[in-house]
Amino acid sequence: MKYRSVGNSGVRVSEIALGSWLTFGKSLDDEIAAEIIETAYNNGINFFDTSDNYAGRKAEKLLGEALSRFPRHKLFVASKVFFPVGEGPNDKGLSRKHIFEEVKASLAALNMDYLDLYQCHRYDYSTPLEETVRAMSDLVRNGTILYWGVSMWSGTQVKRACKIADRINGYRPISNQVMYNFLDRQIEFNGIQKVCRKLGVGLLAFSPLAEGILTGKYQNNIPDNSRAANKKINNFIKQRLTEKNLTESARIVESAEKLETTPAKLSLAWLLNRKNVSSVITGVSHATQLLENIDATNIDVPKLYLKSLENSPFKKLYLSTYYKSLRLYRYLKYEFSS
């Protein structure tokens, strides 16, 4: 396993991380999940990512129980806060109250004394950003968390958070967890990647295989034992199984055959070659999948192939659509503010 720094911070995490979205406590038996976690640790993965709202906190509990057998100082454990965990008015968001109460609940579920990384799962428009930055900075100061980060924040939001942290002598976020894969590359065009790189905020890429589409298994049909066939967890992938995405994934499959590797390994290796990516968060349903993902760190993809994969027939169309949407947004913003 190879390791990288998260942004400009001094902490180093495995290039491949193990995530728990849609798997731990939901689609997998606990025994299989524990086997996957043990396989991850034994093969050099030190970065484990979860959230307070994954499977109603079952993911945190399962992860904490499985990791309790390993030395705490060898682990980098991350959780998140934002989405509702109850029906009360303060059971969601990024207020100081909710952040402090949720980090305590997450630590209890994980049976740990501190979190290595605590992430704002989304941006909270109902809470002043300074309140959130101060809360996170205070948690760092008292040792409850070592670092804090964000997830799916825009470049402007990350920039504002860093400015506030500097002004109040607080702590900047070290990471932005984003959806990033060969099919979902909007962070390259909407400024997120550029801003985070400039500010020293590392990118943690989730859904690196587009929920399995980039493995090539959906090219002809939907396998019975696949995520798309599982009604419990296929809400997101159903929207991705478009003709465009299948055409793009076919290019990965073709290139993988030429390189004598698998589409999954090539997709992960491609992502690890992108700018400012600190780690790639993978979700798997069995240990053999995880071992294949880990092997992607050993692939040396020729620059010729990387360049050829960049020349997507859909890239110009995507850019054109993006910039048209941006111009419309700016026009409407001007019209309604004047």
Q: Which residues are catalytic?
A: 54
3-state secondary structure of 23: coil
Cβ(199)–Cβ(157) under 8 Å?
no
Question: Within its chain, how far is the Cα of 294 from the centroid?
Answer: 16
Burial class (CB in 10 A: 0-12, 13-18, 19+), 8: exposed
Contacts of 58 (CB under 8 A, 6+ apart): 24, 25, 26
Q: How far is CA 82 from CA 85, 93, 150, 249, 264, in A?
A: 9, 4, 10, 33, 31
Residue 24 per-residue DSSP state: T
Across 24-46, b (16+ Cβ under 10 Å) vs e yields: bbbbbeeebbbbbbebbbebebb
CA-based nearest residue to 296, from 251, 266, 274 = 266
- Joined together, the tokens standing for residue 219 give 């090219």
DSSP assignment of 52-104 equals TTGGGGHHHHHHHHHHTTS-GGG-EEEEEE-S-SSSSTTSSSS-HHHHHHHHH
* Separation between Cα atoms, residue 248 and residue 320, nearest integer Å: 18
**DSSP H helices in the chain:** 30-42, 58-67, 96-110, 129-141, 155-167, 192-199, 237-240, 243-258, 263-272, 287-295, 303-310, 315-337
Question: Within its chain, how far is the Cα of 126 from the centroid?
Answer: 24
Angle at 17 between CA 12 and CA 19, to 5 degrees: 135
